A and B are shown apart, each in its own frame.
Chain A
Amino acid sequence: MSAPKLAIKNLSKNYLLTNNKTVTALKNFNLSVFPGEFVSIIGPSGCGKTTLFNIIAGVEKETSGTISLDGNIENSRRGKFGYMFQEPLLLPWRTVEQNLILGTDIKKIPKIIAFKKARLLLKEFNLEKYGDQYPSTLSGGMKQKVALLRTLLFNDSFLLLDEPFGALDQITRNSLQLWLKKVLKNFKTTVLFITHDIREAKLLSDRIIKL
């Protein structure tokens, strides 16, 4: 077996409350994710799934433990993962195409190249007719698709997907699960996926972990 793409060792996260008490969100958590693997994390609400993603993505700081990416311990992990949140978080004043290039704007990739990539991606998944539309005109499912493509355009090597279909109705959810499978077939992407839905985890994952 190849070396893990992501290795989490003894990761803990404590929050200090205003009354000086501490709450443990994660305790000595260990996980290895291998290149190209799709790993789902399931667990009840409040068990620390989103905290785990926030720490991996560098949005929050761990209390203790190490996170290695491609064998190197990474202390500054911001920008090294494509992180998709539960909400699509599309910028309402930007068109679909402009939303797709948000991450590439931050990476300072020239606009002409970024737009070219965005258009190619939209074309590849038959969404090119939505390129000029604003998020307010899109359905919930379509917004999630755009958010996923934005995440992929930012970083297609490692995705953190935090319940991306959690707020959708069952029919849209089913169709998006199949769409996600189709999208990921085209990329050699490693994915960590949070879900409450065991059926969804079984359908999409190579491995399921209970937190």
Chain B
Amino acid sequence: MKKYKSSFILIIVLLVFWEIYVRAGFINVRILPPPSLIFQALFSHWNNLLPHVLQTLLETVIGFLIAAILGFVTAILLDISPKINKTIYPLLIISQTIPIIALAPLLLLWFGFGILPKIIIVVLYCYFPIAITGAGGLSQTKKQFMKLLTSMNATYWQGLFLVRFPSSLPSFFSGLKIAATYSVAGAIVGEFVGAYQGLGVYMQQAANSFSVALVFASIFVTVLLSFMILKAVMILENLFTCHSREGGNPD
């Protein structure tokens, strides 16, 4: 917590500046409500907001987990043979040039207004960074480790699970962290296009009724959700990679 002290102070300063700027009348409160009004709106509408938050959270978590599994499997596929890598890798890169937001209406047409199209959009947002950083991590295993495994007559899968996957965990987690920051935004994009419930729906309803404070309150919750997922990934990362970092060597 100590290392984020300066960032925390900066946020407080910006919020205070924002509050004073709006209260001083430099801008209309209806256009840009001050932070105090946003928090007030958030607390007073929390009961209405909660089901939407839970819906978005559900879509995000399911989508993120599926993306993590698919990303992991893709990373291994890319690693297994150079032929598969040469075939799949360019397709993966090209797939990223397709704007996901343009796919959202199609997904809605194909799968309806339920949870599935949102989950697919979250998967599309999160899958790529996980697969690419994972494959990169696996390919960057120290050559000497590979020689050691070869000298011990390890099979591909033994090498993968005993040495290469654990050594690539920092890369995997980099991808997971990037994906975690995209994940909630992905779900909201899906909800914008068409949904019955979710933060995207709530934001649109708030904007349609000119309740800017509630739009900001939803944005604040979105940030909070993204941060929570990111933090969960960071806790897992710390748990799984704490010993991989070089500690204090007595030399």
Contact = CB atoms under 8 A, between A and B. Distances in A.
Interface of A: 54, 57-59, 78-79, 81, 83, 85, 87, 89, 91-94, 102-103, 105-106, 134, 136-140, 154
Range, interface on chain B: 20 to 34
A115 B246 CA distance: 25
B153 interface: yes
A139 B150 CA distance: 27
Interface string B140-169: 001011011111111000100011001101
17 contacts: A78-B151, A78-B152, A79-B151, A79-B153, A83-B148, A92-B243, A92-B245, A93-B241, A102-B162, A106-B149, A106-B152, A136-B243, A136-B245, A136-B248, A137-B247, A139-B250, A139-B251
Top 10 closest pairs, chain A to chain B, by CB: A79-B153, A136-B247, A78-B153, A83-B151, A57-B151, A139-B250, A134-B243, A92-B244, A106-B154, A106-B152
B166 A91 contact: yes
B155 to A, nearest CB: 8
A105 B149 CA distance: 11
Contacts of A134: 243, 247
B249 interface: yes
Contact of B153 (A85, A93, A106): A106
Nearest to A142: B250
Interface string B164-185: 0011010000000000000000
A53 B191 CA distance: 61
A106 B162 contact: yes
A143 B158 CA distance: 23
Contacts of B247: 134, 136-137
Contacts of A79: 151-153
Given A106-B158, A136-B245, A136-B246, A91 B163 contact: yes
Given A89-B144, A105-B162, A58 B151 contact: yes
Nearest to A92: B244
A97 B154 CA distance: 19
Interface string B219-251: 000000000000000000000110111111111
Nearest to B246: A136
Contacts of A136: 243, 245-249
Contacts of B245: 92, 136
Contact of B250 (A54, A58, A83, A138): A138
Given A78-B153, A83-B148, A89-B145, 12 more contacts: A54-B147, A58-B153, A79-B152, A92-B244, A93-B166, A102-B163, A103-B152, A106-B158, A106-B162, A136-B249, A138-B250, A140-B251
Contacts of B150: 57-59, 78
A140 B249 CA distance: 8
B147 A59 contact: yes
A85 B148 contact: yes
B152 A102 contact: yes
A185 to B, nearest CB: 25
Nearest to A50: B147
Nearest to A140: B251
A93 B162 CA distance: 10
Contacts of A57: 150-151
Contacts of A83: 148, 151-152
Contacts of A92: 243-246
B144 A85 contact: yes
Nearest to A134: B243
Contacts of B149: 106
Contacts of A102: 152, 162-163
Contacts of B145: 89, 91
B241 to A, nearest CB: 7
Nearest to B158: A106
A145 to B, nearest CB: 13
Contacts of B151: 57-59, 78-79, 81, 83
